[in-house]
Chain A
Amino acid sequence: MKLIAVLRKQPIPVEVVRTNGEYSLTLNGKTFSVNAVRPTQQSLSLIVEGKSYEVGIEKNGSRYSVYFYNDTICLDLFEARKYKATELAKKTVSAGPLQVVAPMPGKIVKITAVENQSVAEGEPLLIMEAMKMQNELKAPRAGVVRQLHVKEGEPVTPQQVLMILE
């Protein structure tokens, strides 16, 4: 099976073959033989060429979160033949307006951006409070603030659209 892994915006082709319960994976021009068991619903134990790894793993649509004690790696996996179409669709989206969403549940403390303001990437847009701490939410990319969907003092849920950047 041919897949495309997208990790930090980089597409990486991966091929998976299974024979007699053992896996053979080819990525970055190298082939690995892998033995895998799933001790719990949320974890995967791998033996990759003698080295044992246990990772926490979760799937949400195409998005995989893989947990290591010292890192959490998020990547997307697509069937190689479907990837091109997805990529095209994405490009069209990223050129258009961008929704700025709440990264966590909390309360809007202060909105520093105003409508029609041009902001640079990394410029603070608003301040959110969660777990007794205040955090700045910054512009993910440069643009013009077009619509504000929240007011100061308003509680928000994760992924709620806060404003539109054009």
Chain B
Amino acid sequence: MKRIFIANRGEIAVRILRACRELGITAVVGYSDPDRSSIAVRLADEAYRIGPALSSESYLNIPRIIEIALQTKCDAIHPGYGFLAERAEFAASCEKAGIIFVGPRSTVIELMGEKTRARQAVQNAGTPVVPGTLRPLKNLAEAQETAKSFGYPVLIKAAAGGGGKGLREVQNASGLEEAFRLAQSEAQSAFGDPSVYLEKKIEQPHHVEIQILADHHGNVIHLGERECSIQRRHQKVIEECPSPFISADTRAKMCDVAIRAAREIGYTNAGTMEFLVDKDQNFYFLEMNTRLQVEHPVTELVTGIDIVKAQISIASGEPLRLKQEDVPFNGSAIECRIYAENPESNFMPSPGKITGLRVPGGPGIREDSGIYEGYEVPLYYDPLLSKLSAWGHTRKEAIQRMARALEEYQVQGIHTTISFYHRVMNHPQFLKGVYTTSFIEEYFALANITKPHESDQIAIIAAAILEFEHFNTATETKVQQSGTPKNLWRTVARKEGLRQ
């Protein structure tokens, strides 16, 4: 493999680009208009415009992406995550055009993408699934009957979906009709398919997933699990490896089940089996992500395996380099997804210009970022700015490093979730390692998220000093009739010994 087309943006485009660089592969980045000044394009070997800002005309435009990849003589396309990563149609278009799709075959993506068929397929391999309907519900009557047989609460989910869209929780029989209707309409608008199915709600669940790698020679290995229970709006925000919750016995069973299921469906490349684990360590298959996961760095930190390079090597047809027993598991790692959102305003998106940036570093810290000082966070795409990961010999050390790095991390001009994560790192329940998917609602209810402002005094001191200097400079300038506003601070700095 000599040239890879990266059909994505943001931090993940940079991540893939780095793997290409290390392997001596030419990284070709496709970009939309607002991403012209992104880091991925700035670091790329070659970059080509796909189209305007709107995803449907750029990062989701299959014919255009295939056309550019062919014109630029790329051997392969890496889809990253999101956008076209799990579109079977895209993988099929690559296969048809004779371009390697870095991921599983299109038929496998299709199978795992239809949640009800996927459940059936993995069940055939002996994977436990959450009690639920194995096919889309025909009508409300069927939904009512099924819900009654499982017992409430139940979840209604979009058959074509994921990412929390088209998902409704129903506490009792009286709420079913409305939820059924709303889920259908959400599923229709989000995925163009109103099919929904029903699942028993696992109470107080942990979200634990198994990372697997499968080559084209029948070898399948696992890289352990990730605990992803800290979520807001059904989306993960903090992940860790290993899970502080599951027992060694549960881990062994889950990994075994994941490998058997991957073999059963003929899976190739990197993939993730997501499970819900209840308080008694019973686990149930949730879905399979047939792509690179956002949170892959925690697994990389613990195993030392570069998952993106493994993906490229598998896609080139090479056999896996490691046997299961050779996979090392060292220490503990945590990732925080830094979003452009205001945690004190119900995680409202906060696009805009990053006017100041101080990036953390030091022992055990890894930052996968798509931002820089002066970068304008576009409002067209996902608000993920960067991923901060910390590794430690123990979970405690990883948490200490993460907390310390979050204190160093400063993003100015927009709101971010950094301060919120710092509070999580200090939360007794998180430190104990006992938390479920309702952690944020349970311990950080909206009222609670607004914290006391301990730094008021320092803020006033800082601002007053700046105002004082600003005022003096302005007055002096007026008298001298010289200096431009831009240089005011420089002048002051020289006069007052304030160094820039």
Contacts and interface: CB of A to CB of B under 8 A. Distances in A.
Interface string B367-401: 00000000000011111000000000000000000
Interface stretch (A62-70, A83-91, A113-121): A62-70
A21 interface: yes
Given A41-B500, A67-B412, A75-B460, A23 B465 contact: yes
A56 to B, nearest CB: 4
Interface in A64-103: 64-73, 75, 77, 79, 103
Given A41-B489, A69-B409, A104 B351 contact: yes
Interface in A2-26: 3, 5, 7, 12, 14, 16, 18, 21, 23, 25
Contacts of A59: 463, 466-467, 470
Nearest to A26: B464
Contacts of A27: 457, 460-461, 464
B141 interface: no
Interface in B335-367: 340, 346, 348-352, 355-356, 358
B175 interface: no
B107 interface: no
B379 A55 contact: no
A125 B56 CA distance: 30
A65 to B, nearest CB: 8
A43 interface: yes
A21 B497 contact: yes
B460 A18 contact: no
Contacts of A70: 407, 418-419, 422-423, 451, 455
Given A69-B410, A71-B419, A5 B493 contact: no
Nearest to A28: B457
B351 A40 contact: no
A147 interface: no
Nearest to B419: A70
Contacts of A57: 462-463, 466
Secondary structure call for the A interface: strand
Contact of A66 (B352, B422, B463): B463
B406 interface: yes
A110 B489 CA distance: 46
A48 interface: yes
Interface in B456-486: 456-468, 470-471
A58 interface: yes
B438 to A, nearest CB: 20
A112 interface: no
A45 to B, nearest CB: 10
Contacts of A64: 459, 462-463, 466-467
A110 B423 CA distance: 34
Contacts of B462: 36, 44, 46, 53, 55, 57, 64, 66
A130 B419 contact: no
A130 B154 CA distance: 31
Contact of A135 (B349, B422, B458, B471): B349
Nearest to B493: A38
Nearest to B496: A21
Contact of B465 (A25, A41, A43): A25
Q: In which size bucket is the chain B interface?
A: 35 or more
A25 B467 CA distance: 12
A55 B458 contact: yes
B498 interface: yes
Contacts of B499: 37-39
A36 B465 contact: yes
A133 B458 contact: no
Contacts of A36: 462, 465, 498
A1 B467 CA distance: 10
B142 interface: no
A132 interface: yes
Contacts of B380: 131
A21 B500 CA distance: 15
Nearest to A73: B459
Contact of B468 (A16, A43, A75): A16
A71 B453 contact: yes
A1 B465 contact: no
Contacts of A68: 455, 458-459
Nearest to B416: A72
B454 interface: yes
A131 B418 contact: no
Given A131-B381, A135-B349, A12 B460 contact: yes
Contacts of B383: 131, 133
Interface string B437-460: 000000000000001011111111
B453 A56 contact: no
Contacts of A133: 348-349, 383
B291 interface: no
B409 A14 contact: no
Interface of B: 340, 346, 348-352, 355-356, 358, 379-383, 406-413, 415, 418-419, 422-423, 451, 453-468, 470-471, 489, 493, 496-500
30 contacts: A3-B468, A5-B464, A12-B460, A16-B467, A18-B496, A21-B496, A25-B461, A34-B465, A37-B498, A38-B498, A38-B500, A39-B500, A40-B500, A43-B356, A44-B465, A46-B461, A53-B462, A55-B462, A56-B412, A58-B356, A64-B462, A66-B462, A67-B356, A68-B458, A69-B406, A71-B419, A77-B464, A104-B351, A104-B352, A132-B382
Q: Lowest 10 CB-CB distances: which A-B pairs, in order?
A: A42-B356, A73-B459, A64-B463, A66-B459, A131-B349, A70-B419, A56-B412, A16-B468, A131-B383, A77-B467
Given A48-B458, A55-B458, A70-B423, 13 more contacts: A3-B468, A7-B460, A27-B457, A36-B465, A43-B356, A43-B358, A57-B462, A68-B459, A70-B451, A73-B456, A77-B467, A104-B379, A130-B349
